[in-house]
A = this chain, B = another copy of it.
Amino acid sequence: MAAQATLDRTTSSDHVFDELYAKIVRLELLPGTKISETEVAKSFGYSRQPVREAFTRLANLNLLLVRPQRATVVRPFSRQLIANARFIRTAVELEVIRAASTDRDPSIDAPLKSNMRRQGKAITSEDASAFHDLDYEFHRLLCESAQQTFAFEIIAANKAQVDRLCMLALTSKEAMKTLHLDHQKLLEALFAGDAQTAEKTLRAHLDRLTPTVDAIYTTHNAYFDG
């Protein structure tokens, strides 16, 4: 997640944003945790103002819940918000796939294939963290291949809502293999220009999250709202 696209200089606010974003997504800050502008400011050695801006941006991503005169909290998981985020992500990524299958940038083919190989290695070494990073990169490369790089910003923003939840799901070797196979099928359809198969594969791929979310809803109900 880039701090601010339009600027080269990174401000104090950017720093705070990046740190908090990482902590929230990695569940170092658990859903429901109270978090105070003043305290964060002290811990960073900044004033409240830059922290406040970072808070606002995180609230826009639905990662914080800021209410006037009340303690700001790390937003609990919300099945509604997760569903909404997935809807948007699916919509955008489907359109990306469509664009890529009719007119893709061939110079991205090699990075995509390389990424696939590394996914395979991550699976054999059962390195879930590496696999996650490669998955992130894979979907970014898809956007590049479709020459719609900016679209990944939307996808990433909506992934965040789910990513932190997935930290609670233990990633089995089988699960990774399934995802890897999805990627494989997707790429094949893409390279063949078969938009319909690519779409169907992507939709199935993204739908795999549903049972995971449901499972975590029962095992970690305390982290959910309502």
Contacts and interface: CB of A to CB of B under 8 A. Distances in A.
Given A65-B6, A68-B9, A87 B148 contact: yes
A95 B95 CA distance: 9
Range of interface residues on chain A? 20 to 34
A56 B53 CA distance: 9
A90 interface: yes
B150 A84 contact: yes
Contacts of A6: 59, 65-67
Interface string A96-124: 10010000000000000000000000000
A88 interface: yes
Contacts of A53: 53, 56
Contacts of A11: 68
A35 interface: no
Given A91-B94, A92-B88, A56 B56 contact: yes
A2 interface: no
15 contacts: A6-B59, A6-B65, A6-B66, A53-B56, A56-B56, A84-B150, A84-B151, A87-B151, A88-B92, A88-B154, A91-B91, A91-B92, A91-B151, A94-B94, A94-B95
